[in-house]
Amino acid sequence: MSIAERLANVFDEAFGLETEKFSVDLAPEDVPNWDSVGHMNLVMQLEKEFGVQFEVDEIMEMSSPAKIIEILKSKGAGG
């Protein structure tokens, strides 16, 4: 399973976003519940799914799935 596929599943878990509606080009305003609390829930789900820990600056940079994938790859998360 690719990083994008795994990320689509995380978005489903964190926000209830159906995987068919997932796109790497989504922005927070495109996703219901992607607010500050939802963002922290997303971060926790990502850490659980990919087995990584994020720095504060990385969490702040997570403005789209594409950026999240970039951060995950920089941490060695494959898929």
Domain segments of the chain as ranges: 3-74
Query: Mean pLDDT, to the nearest integer, of 63-78?
Result: 94
- pLDDT value at residue 79: 60
For the entire predicted model, the pTM comes to 0.93
9-25 tens-digit pLDDT: 999 999 999 999 999 99
11 φ, ψ (degrees, to nearest 5): -65, -35
User: Is residue 33 pLDDT above 90, yes or no?
Assistant: yes
Query: What top-level class would CATH report for the domain 3-74?
Result: mainly alpha
- pLDDT value at residue 69: 97
- Answer yes or no: are the C-beta atoms of 25 and 40 closer than 8 Å: no
Count of residues for the chain? 79
